[in-house]
Chain A
Amino acid sequence: MDWGFFAGTAIAGLLAGLMYALVAIGFVLIYKTSGVLNFAQGAMVLFAALTFVSLHEAGLAFWLAFLITLAAMIVLGILVEAFILRPLVNQPPITLFMATLGLSYVVEGTAQLMWGTQVHALDLGIKDTPLPIPDILVSRFDLFCASVASTLVVVLTLLFRYTRLGLAFRAAAEDQYAALNTGLRLPVIWAAVWAVAGFVALVTGLLWGARTGVQFSLSLVVLKSFPVLVLGGFDSIPGAIVGGLLIGLTETLAEVYIGPYVGGGIDEWIAYAVALVFLLIRPTGLFGQRSVERA
């Protein structure tokens, strides 16, 4: 056994896992506070990345393009709250889920209508070459992504734990009626949390977009994050990170060491299989708090 190669594979897997976790965090934020599995998260990633890259290509400075895109994502959050969440309050989760599917059509369509269907390159200015460690290859870019993802988790955790807004988020997550009774305005909270999810989508879009090019396929990265959600729990941010690391690790190791014997391409489903087996043993995920029996 070539341990250097094994270590390199493991590290690459863990770093890839953080990229999945990044997408998963967007889901967790919204699920935690409004109980919606937001399928449109992928469309939001696409929308944010396309908007940013188009503005940037039009000559705007990085920070200005970033701020304008962020403002657009906040507006989107407010619109979603007003036109989808509020009217559909108290509907079963599956109805809300379908509504976000409809939303993903609208957001994807709007993104393409505004910015066209071309493929854009996105250069964040980070050299994507491996660190010079013999035998073990670690991509600088992946390290950068990993640090951004970690920072994001820390910031979000602090936000949830120590700010008034975070307290409101948690109250809304615990019990919507109790939150209403104590005078919290759920619409504002929901709009805020969608705006934060929009921010996460923007960051995700920039990092993934720099890897894959900014194009329609960005909206497909959500598929990679579902097993992460199952493993980590739908409502836990640390769970998303740990789940992401586990999924990235097993997926990469399985593909490299088992894939060649069964025709390859197993990383398409191995993550789901792992998540499934895990769920059968521990149905709430690693960090999930709610009873899974809740449908």
Chain B
Amino acid sequence: MSIVRFLALAGLATALAGSLTPSSAKAQNSVPQQQYFPLQSYRVGPYAAGGTGFFGGFIDYMTLINARDGGVNGVKLTWDECETQYIVERGVECYERMKNHVPPPSAWNPLSVGIAYAMIPGITADKVPLITIDHGRTDSTDGAVFPYVFPLLMNPYSESSAIINFIATRVGGPDKLVGKSIVVLYHGSPYGKETIPIYQLLSKKFGFKLEQIEVPDPGTEQESQWLQIRRIHPDYVVLRGWGVMNPVALKTAQDTGFPADHIIGNVWSNSEEDARPAGDAAKGYIALTTQATGTQYTVIRQIVKIVYGAGRGDMADKSRIGSVYYNLGVVNGILNVEAVRIAQAKFGDHTLTGPEMQWGFEHLDLDPGRVAQLGATGLFHSIDVTCADHEGHGFVTFQQWNGSSWHRISDWIAPDWALLRPIIVASANKYAAENGITPRDCSKPQFAAN
């Protein structure tokens, strides 16, 4: 190889490298103080319905804060979107692309278990919080081991426990669960399998018979699974689905004569997009949620008036405002923004760093009174995050599909946190040992220790 050719190649490579280098410091001078949120959104591909709703709600809430309050105490909220299609390496590429942004990322909200897992080592080294609202690895609830990971509102174990508690109320009390039969139909993926041991534990504790049946991804065909269910003849079926698996499950249940109001969906089987495609088969279907649907809450009404009134709303289809994923996005926005506010109270009203944001999330305490001030009463219950508990004692509720919309049919229900805590701590400690992490001492005041 000649020198000339080598230089030509090197020059080409430099140009290529230059074109791919992330552009940082975008719009940095025009806004003196800003809090930046990198959004790894997914608006195309198989899970686009969830992504457009969630990120639409999140963005609309941030737009509302900027428009109504001029930001958080004068600090504007800013964001960029990067499309992941829910694919892990695209999410990782987005993370690499946006992590060196100036000002620094406040928190990551990928809404994807796979992407979140892949980011944990990176964000822990960067010291920027990773929010996995309603999902994520359960043991990251233990903030002593996972200082920067926040499965806010609800982790998968709490979800399982809450579902069983709800079934208990339907059959007339926890003691009536003895001898009942429950089938868990789960998506064939790490997400679907995560709760297998916890249902076994709950089955032992309450004395109900348990079968757990896998539906291979994507779940467009479930005849054999529902035939098995028909043979078992359970009292309840817990649907732990994702994407197209959910409407197909409801359809096939009808095919095989299983009543929809004895199917209890988990948090990723609880949206309009899960129930509506099943048509009549979904009527009566019940699902868990951490946030109620509808547009009657003050905060959502303000978004419609101020954000959409000014033509600045994110949703192309306005009828989806108030849907499950949209409202989850709004709640996620509230939690992120309140973490900023709480951290500002300690560190000052300016652009906050990752560790400062971490402090904010770790002191995120919104009691029902504060939730009312935020105009979100009834939208979600409350949250109280601490160093040891990154979930924040979230309450859940249950909703029933009437053929066109969801209606709440239960009070806010608490999972059995005391039962779950030792398992979570044990799992977190195993992770700590494998990865050479020394858990923090949560009894001491935390900051800058990391």
Contacts and interface: CB of A to CB of B under 8 A. Distances in A.
Interface of A: 2, 5, 8-9, 12-13, 15-16, 19, 112, 116-123, 128-130, 137, 139, 141-142, 208, 211-217, 220-221, 224, 251-253, 255-256, 259-260, 263-265, 267-268
Interface size bracket, B side: 35 or more
Interface string B425-450: 00000000000000000000000000
Interface string B36-50: 000000011110110
A96 B224 CA distance: 36
B277 A212 contact: yes
Contacts of A130: 255-257
A212 B216 contact: no
Interface string B204-224: 000000001111111011011
B224 A119 contact: no
A146 B431 CA distance: 51
A252 B222 CA distance: 9
Interface of B: 43-46, 48-49, 52, 188, 212-218, 220-221, 223-225, 227-228, 230-231, 243-244, 247-248, 251, 254-257, 273, 276-281, 316-317
Given A119-B247, A255-B224, 7 more contacts: A5-B231, A13-B224, A129-B255, A213-B247, A252-B224, A259-B224, A263-B214
29 contacts: A5-B227, A9-B224, A12-B223, A12-B224, A12-B227, A112-B44, A116-B316, A119-B247, A121-B277, A130-B255, A130-B256, A130-B257, A139-B255, A141-B255, A142-B255, A211-B220, A211-B251, A213-B277, A215-B273, A216-B45, A217-B243, A220-B218, A221-B220, A251-B224, A252-B223, A255-B224, A264-B213, A264-B214, A265-B215
A212 B224 contact: no
Contacts of A19: 221
B221 A224 contact: yes
Nearest to A268: B216
Nearest to A254: B224
Contact of A121 (B46, B231, B256, B278): B278
A268 B224 contact: no
Contacts of A259: 224, 228
Contacts, number: 129
A130 B296 CA distance: 39
Contact of A268 (B188, B223, B243): B188
A260 B228 contact: yes
> Which 8 pairs, one residue from A and one from B, show the smallest C-beta to C-beta distance?
A213-B277, A117-B48, A268-B216, A255-B224, A217-B244, A265-B214, A264-B214, A139-B255
A212 B255 contact: no
Contacts of A221: 220
Most buried by A among B212, B255, B317: B255
A137 B43 contact: no
B49 A215 contact: yes
A116 B315 CA distance: 12
B412 to A, nearest CB: 28
B30 to A, nearest CB: 33
A213 B278 contact: yes
B278 A255 contact: no
A248 to B, nearest CB: 8
A98 B30 CA distance: 48
Most buried by A among B224, B225, B230, B316: B224
Contacts of A253: 224
